[in-house]
């Protein structure tokens, strides 16, 4: 009876309100995760239709199915949709749905941030697809190389759709990355030390870290290219000191980690599902974690292998070639750990296992062609041919789509509470598997026979005709296979039999709950003593539902979950999470207004949306915290823990650290661009340098010092004044600097100054917020978390501002 | 247009590399697939826990390391051999790519469009640039490709064994005409080449 009462009380607190209103206000991680998954599958279907059109065009030589203008939009959109609107959101959705359940928590660290990410993704993706329907889709390739994507050669809004739409969606990816990293580090079941985490969490921790450092270069590149297109700042124009290669560096600095960002979550799913199918423990847990970390680290050191034919010196290529080949080692460690796991147990050929076998075969072949392409001389032949198309589909479909299909069949019972009845999944597998190999195995040969990528027609007599026809037939087989998969899933949701708890006999915590999952996940929180809680405590789910765990209480209408020490897993404090809210959707709508007015060329209107976003952010933060001291809460089992607003280091503090880390990465990429252009680009030195003033760096440094010192003494107004001095100094510097449209030097200098102004301005806003909160009684000696967070932003603004001001006048001094 | 039907020393060395890698890849994938298949053989009750040292240490770490290091060395040597190092008999030709043509300029001032004339049996150093967007020059049977990038000049060495004609194409997506952005390479014997660039044949 206790269980039922607890269920009702917790549901009242955690539930999503009924009807449309509830749908728009929901912040629940299960809801948001499922939405991401469904939307990503819809985009996958759209991308798949585009792929079918591409294959229809290439099925025969001299095809007149579509012209080159349409064809260029087709392959650009196919790549962009599959990368940005399918792959990343799909694993984000899977992770948002699963992670808290696997970690034994009730929700993610920043529920409203997930919701904001969802709306940004939906709006951004919609903009991109609507542009395609209007016939103004991006058409410069998913890699958008300038000068082709620049204003001269793509005068329409095609490239702007990509730059603005993808950047809008990228906001969602950055939100998800910070969300996932903080949730894994801090929101776990008590006792879940790092070495007791489910392997999926390790994979996602590495993935989130890679996103935090991998996405900023692309966001920076997109901003620079959009500014070049809109305002004529010549970052990539060689006639004015820019370089088209700068874009390629920034793009692939993101683009290569990106493919591992896509692969790792899928590998995490494999490492989770495969031991269950093999009825064995995962072999080499520690070795796999080491391999994940090595892969994450190495993946940032091999972006140049996408640029082997751009004229980079051979010795430099040798380094990147070696790094690209070495990345095969951590991958091999995982492959053989999985094989060893299968050998340890007695694997059953259930449906998820069948898809995992498809993954093994396809992914290993893709990995081997990857090693081939890492060899510079071979790449010089194969680069930009169908061979590379084949390779990338082998690794991405093999390394992501097959594991996701396995994951779909494995976790569907968890989402729906039902088991499948019809046996369509096997037929779907064979259609997809055979169709896939027919399509892409042929492309290796087509490429070796000299067929380049991205051509809309080809003549007869090249030896490409039969191969292309086979590829097209295979493509359509795959399409039927995916249609069958969809039918199978729909049937399972509608007609499946209700199953017992934990139908696969898994050992991870997400199966220690009723399915479909209740809004609060766990009526009380587990205490974890080993890596496989459900094998040592099979009845854990029932005991948690009876309230025998921690936080088995519904109090004050609070959404409570446990925050632990990062390494030891000891309970630290109780997080009070925010509930349903209008803020995510309204904030996303304002951001959407900004991006749409940029797209429409209304450059006077666009900035008006930013104060709205800032105001909503203010409201957003204002709802946190508490206006009186509460003291420690009873968490059960004798634990008395402070609530999050009286905690030393809140999740918000960790989130700020990661957000600033991402921002610092963007700044580093910008400095790289500045140095790169200075040393590599043609038409340097610039006609006029920034005047070597003393006043500007002195004012900025003084402001920075003032801000850093006074923020520590709690003199918020003085700290705000210091940040204002930085803004004034940098604005003056820009005022006296040469016009940014004249030369890439002036343009990059202006971009650097803009970074400093933005961060000092943000720090001013945050300091003003803290001052207002203090006046409203939200702070006390016990409740000082916000001041600590503000100090992070203020210190970063100070350091960045002073650094920018000094850096920008140095060339003038040296000249 | 086939890379596996080479007609010059640089393309031939890459073709050799390709066949070696194909053989190695076939063996490795066979190994993985056999191990995968054997995991499903009927056993009275599992083999117990597999030995991590064997699976992860030897198969996961040592084996790829042992395969990759020699391969890297081999590829590095081949790559170094294709570099345009100073050579007695090398001919320098400048190439300008644009939408949608290829312009070639020869020693002695002669220029051609969409037909590249070269002497057979001698290394030819192409100095490649572009005037509008990025293109990439590729003659699959003679050598690897090299991008033509506005604002910079890249060098690529190609060589044909024997007189004849070879197809070239643009390998970097450059807009709506990308599919037809090809050219022809004509390799001449010594007398033909001399006649072409206007030297008196002696």
SS (H, E, C) A682-712: CCCCCCCCCCCCCHHHHHHHHHHHHHHHHHH
The first and second tokens of residue A575, run together, are 């997080």
Which run of H or of E encompasses B94? Answer: strand B91-98
Work out the minimum CA distance from B23 to partner chain A, whole angstroms. 11
CB contact under 8 A, B3 and A343: no
Query: Residue A407: pLDDT above 60?
Result: yes
Give the gap in angstroms from C-alpha B22 to the nearest C-alpha of chain A: 9
Q: Is the pLDDT of residue A377 over 70?
A: yes
Q: How confident is the model at residue A381 (pLDDT cuts 50, 70, 90)?
A: very high
Q: Considering only CB atoms, which chain A residues are within 8 Å of B65?
A: 329
pLDDT(A264) > 60? yes
Q: Do B47 and A343 touch (CB under 8 A)?
A: yes
Q: Return the percentage of chain A with pLDDT > 90, whole number.
A: 96
Q: What is the mean pLDDT of chain A?
A: 96
Report yes or no: B129 at the A interface, CB cutoff 8 Å: no
User: Which residues on chain B are in Cβ contact (under 8 Å) with A309?
Assistant: 136, 144-147, 171
Q: Does B125 touch chain A (CB under 8 A)?
A: no
Yes or no, beta carbons of A377 and B33 under 8 Å apart? no
CA of A137 vs chain B CAs: smallest distance (Å) = 14
Instruction: Judge whether B20 is closer than 8 Å to chain A, CB to CB.
Output: no
The reply to whether B78 touches chain A by the CB within 8 Å rule is yes
What is the residue-averaged pLDDT of chain B?
94
In A, minimum Cα distance to B127 occurs at: A311
pLDDT tens digits, residue range A10-25?
Answer: 999 999 999 999 999 9
Q: Taking residues A184-209, what's their average pLDDT?
A: 97
B174 CA: distance to closest CA in chain A (Å): 7
Do the chains contact at A329 and B171, CB–CB below 8 Å? Answer: no
Residues of A in contact with B170 (CB under 8 A): 452
Q: What is the pLDDT of residues A787-797, one digit of tens each?
A: 999 999 999 99
Banded model confidence at residue B202, pLDDT cuts 50, 70, 90: very low
Phi, psi of A505 (to 5 degrees): 70, 40
**pLDDT tens by residue, A577-610:** 999 999 999 999 999 999 999 999 999 999 999 9
Q: How far is B199 from chain A (nearest CA, A)?
A: 32
Nearest CA to CA, how far is A340 from chain B (Å)? 6
Q: Is 80 exceeded by the pLDDT of residue B46?
A: no
In this prediction, residues A421-429 reach a mean pLDDT of 92
Cα B200 to Cα B21: distance, rounded to the nearest angstrom? 47
Region A41-58: mean pLDDT is 98
CA gap A726, A720 in Å, rounded: 10
Instruction: Check pLDDT > 50 for residue A254.
Output: yes
Is B179 near chain A, with CB under 8 Å? yes
Judge if pTM exceeds 0.95.
yes
Q: Judge if the upstream peptide bond of residue A310 is cis by omega within 30 degrees of 0.
A: no
pLDDT given for residue B45 in this prediction? 62
A576 neighbors A559 (Cβ within 8 angstroms): yes
How close, in Å, is residue A378 to chain B by CA atoms?
6
- Measured between CA atoms, how close is B2 to chain A, in angstroms? 4
Contact A314 B83 (CB under 8 A): yes
Q: Where are the alpha helices (DSSP H) in A188-327?
A: 199-231, 244-278, 285-298, 314-326
Q: Does B70 touch chain A (CB under 8 A)?
A: no
Tally of residues, chain B:
202
pLDDT in tens, A797-806: 999 999 999 9
A209 falls in which pLDDT band (50, 70, 90)? very high
Provide the terminal-to-terminal Cα distance of chain B, rounded to the nearest Å. 35
List CB contacts (< 8 A) between B179 and chain A. 68, 455-458
Question: How far is the C-alpha of A241 from the C-alpha of A687, rounded, in Å?
Answer: 10
pLDDT the model gives residue A499: 86
Q: What is the pLDDT of residue A423?
A: 86
Mean pLDDT of A357-361: 98
Taking the Cβ of residue B50 and every Cβ of chain A, the question of whether any pair is shorter than 8 Å is answered with yes
Indicate the residue of B28, B40, B146 with minimum beta-carbon distance to A311: B146
Average pLDDT over residues A256-277: 97
B118 touches chain A (CB under 8 A): no
The model's pLDDT over B77-111, given as tens digits with 9 standing for 90+, comes to 999 999 999 999 999 999 999 999 999 999 989 99
For residues A361 and A340, the answer to whether their CB atoms sit within 8 Å is: no
Whole-number pLDDT of residue A1: 67
Q: Considering only CB atoms, which chain A residues are within 8 Å of B175?
A: 72, 148, 153
Q: Provide the pLDDT for residue B47.
A: 58
Contact of B19 with chain A, judged by CB distance below 8 Å, is answered with: no
Q: Which whole number is the average pLDDT over B15-40?
A: 97
User: Within a 10 A sphere around the Cβ of B51, how many other Cβ atoms?
Assistant: 15
Neighboring chain A residues of B16 at a CB cutoff of 8 Å? none
Question: Are residues A336 and B47, on separate chains, in Cβ contact within 8 Å?
Answer: no
Query: Does the CB of B64 have a partner CB in chain A at under 8 Å?
Result: yes
pLDDT of residue A473 exceeding 80, the answer is yes
Flag the least confident range among A312-316, A323-327, A496-500: A496-500
Q: Do A147 and B133 touch (CB under 8 A)?
A: yes
Cα A747 to Cα A274, A666, A674, A734, A739, distances in angstroms: 52, 16, 9, 10, 8
Is the previous residue joined to A183 through a cis bond, with omega within 30 degrees of 0? no
By C-alpha distance, the chain A residue nearest B68 is A325
* Residue A445 pLDDT exceeds 50: yes
Distance CA B10, CA B26 (A): 25
Q: Which of B3, B52, B144 sits opposite A287 (nearest CB)?
A: B52
Q: Judge: B176–A455 Cβ closer than 8 Å, yes or no.
A: no
Question: Cβ B17–A377 below 8 Å, yes or no?
Answer: yes
- pLDDT at residue B201, rounded to an integer: 45
The predicted pLDDT at position A422 comes to 81
Q: Please indicate whether, in this complex, the C-beta atoms of A349 and B82 are within 8 angstroms of each other.
A: no
pLDDT of residue B44: 66
Q: Do the Cβ atoms of A347 and B174 come within 8 Å?
A: no
Q: Tokens for A163, please give them.
A: 């730059």
Closest CA to B35 of A278, A335, A402, A434: A335
């Amino acid at each position: 009876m206790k269980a039922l009462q607890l269920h009702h009380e917790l549901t009242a607190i955690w539930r999503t309100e009924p009807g449309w209103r509830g749908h728009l206000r929901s912040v629940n991680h299960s809801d948001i995760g499922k939405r991401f998954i469904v939307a990503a599958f819809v985009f996958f279907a759209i991308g798949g239709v585009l792929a079918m059109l591409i294959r229809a065009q290439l099925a025969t030589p001299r095809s007149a199915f579509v012209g080159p203008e349409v064809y260029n939009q087709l392959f650009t959109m196919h790549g962009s949709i599959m990368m940005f609107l399918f792959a990343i959101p799909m694993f984000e959705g899977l992770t948002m749905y699963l992670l808290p359940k696997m970690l034994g928590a009730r929700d993610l660290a920043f529920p409203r941030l997930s919701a904001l990410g969802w709306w940004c993704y939906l709006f951004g993706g919609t903009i991109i697809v609507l542009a395609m329907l209007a016939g103004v889709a991006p058409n410069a390739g998913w890699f958008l190389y300038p000068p082709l994507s620049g204003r001269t050669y793509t005068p329409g809004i095609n490239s702007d759709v990509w730059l603005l739409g993808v950047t809008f969606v990228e906001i969602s990816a950055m939100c998800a990355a910070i969300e996932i990293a903080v949730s894994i580090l801090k929101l776990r079941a008590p006792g879940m030390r790092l070495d007791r985490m489910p392997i999926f969490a390790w994979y996602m921790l590495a993935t989130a870290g890679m996103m935090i450092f991998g996405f900023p270069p692309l966001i920076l590149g997109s901003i620079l290219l959009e500014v070049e297109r809109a305002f004529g700042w010549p970052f990539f124009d060689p006639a004015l000191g820019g370089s088209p290669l700068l874009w390629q560096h920034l793009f692939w600095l993101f683009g290569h980690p990106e493919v591992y960002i896509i692969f790792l979550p899928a590998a995490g799913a494999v490492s989770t599902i495969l031991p269950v199918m093999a009825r064995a423990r995962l072999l080499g847990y520690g070795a796999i974690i080491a391999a994940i970390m090595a892969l994450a680290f190495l993946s940032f050191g091999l972006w140049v292998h996408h640029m082997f034919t751009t004229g980079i010196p051979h010795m430099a290529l040798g380094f990147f070639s070696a790094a690209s080949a070495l990345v095969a080692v951590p991958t091999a460690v995982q492959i053989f750990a999985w094989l060893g796991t299968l050998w340890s147990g007695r694997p059953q050929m259930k449906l998820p296992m069948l898809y995992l076998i498809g993954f093994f075969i396809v992914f290993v072949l893709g990995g081997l062609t990857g090693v081939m392409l890492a060899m510079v001389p071979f790449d010089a032949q194969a680069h930009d041919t169908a061979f590379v198309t084949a390779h990338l589909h082998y690794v991405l479909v093999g390394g992501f789509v097959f594991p996701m299909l396995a994951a779909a069949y494995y976790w569907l019972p968890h989402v729906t509470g039902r088991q499948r009845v019809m046996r369509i999944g096997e037929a779907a597998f064979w259609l997809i598997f055979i169709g896939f190999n027919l399509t892409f195995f042929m492309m290796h040969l087509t490429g070796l026979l000299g067929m380049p990528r991205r051509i809309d027609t080809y003549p007869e007599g090249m030896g490409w005709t039969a191969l292309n026809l086979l590829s097209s037939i295979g493509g359509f087989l795959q399409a039927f296979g995916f249609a069958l998969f969809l039918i199978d899933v729909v049937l399972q949701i509608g007609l499946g039999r209700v199953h017992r708890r934990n139908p696969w006999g898994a050992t991870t915590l997400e199966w220690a709950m009723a399915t479909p999952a209740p809004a609060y996940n766990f009526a009380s929180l587990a205490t974890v003593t080993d890596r496989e809680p459900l094998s040592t405590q099979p009845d854990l789910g029932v005991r948690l539902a009876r309230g025998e765990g921690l936080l088995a209480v519904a109090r004050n209408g609070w959404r409570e979950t446990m925050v632990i020490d990062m390494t030891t897993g000891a309970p630290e404090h109780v997080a009070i999470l925010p509930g349903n809210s209008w803020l995510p959707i309204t904030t996303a709508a304002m951001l959407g207004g900004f991006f749409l007015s940029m797209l429409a060329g209304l450059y006077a209107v666009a900035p008006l949306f930013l104060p709205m976003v800032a105001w909503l952010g203010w409201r957003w933060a204002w709802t946190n915290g508490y206006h009186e001291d509460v003291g420690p809460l009873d968490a059960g089992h004798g634990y008395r823990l402070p609530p999050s607003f009286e905690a030393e280091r809140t999740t918000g503090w960790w989130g700020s650290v990661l957000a600033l880390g991402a921002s610092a990465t963007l700044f580093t990429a910008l400095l790289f661009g500045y140095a790169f252009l200075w040393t590599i680009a043609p038409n340097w030195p610039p006609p006029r340098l920034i005047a070597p003033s003393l006043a500007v760096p002195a004012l900025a440094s003084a402001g920075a010092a003032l801000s850093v010192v006074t923020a520590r003494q709690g003199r918020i107004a003085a700290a705000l004044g210091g940040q204002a001095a930085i803004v004034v100094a940098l604005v003056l510097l820009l005022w006296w600097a040469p016009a940014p449209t004249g030369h890439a030097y002036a343009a990059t200098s202006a971009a650097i100054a803009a970074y400093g102004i933005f961060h000092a301005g943000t720090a001013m806003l945050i300091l003003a917020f803290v001052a207002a909160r203090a006046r409203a009684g939200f702070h006390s000696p016990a409740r000082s978390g916000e001041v600590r967070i503000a100090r992070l932003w203020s210190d970063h603004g100070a350091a960045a501002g002073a650094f920018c001001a000094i850096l920008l006048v140095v060339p003038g001094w040296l000249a | 247009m086939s890379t596996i039907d080479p007609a010059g020393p640089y393309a031939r060395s890459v073709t050799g590399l390709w066949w070696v890698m194909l053989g190695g890849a076939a063996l490795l994938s066979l190994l993985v697939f056999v191990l995968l298949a054997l995991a499903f053989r009927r056993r009275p009750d599992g083999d117990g826990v597999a030995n991590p040292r064997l699976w992860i240490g030897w198969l996961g770490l040592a084996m790829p390391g042992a395969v990759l290091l020699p391969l890297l060395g081999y590829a590095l040597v081949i790559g170094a051999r294709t570099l345009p190092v100073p050579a007695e008999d090398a001919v320098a030709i400048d190439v300008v790519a644009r939408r949608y043509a290829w312009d070639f300029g020869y020693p002695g001032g002669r220029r051609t469009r969409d037909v590249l004339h070269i002497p057979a049996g001698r290394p030819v150093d192409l100095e490649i640039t572009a005037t509008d967007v990025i293109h990439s020059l590729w003659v699959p049977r003679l050598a690897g490709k090299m991008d033509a990038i506005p604002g910079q000049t890249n060098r690529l060495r190609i060589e044909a064994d024997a007189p004849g004609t070879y197809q070239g194409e643009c390998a970097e997506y450059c807009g709506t005409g990308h599919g037809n952005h090809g050219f022809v390479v004509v390799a001449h014997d010594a007398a033909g080449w001399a006649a072409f660039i206007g030297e008196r044949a002696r």
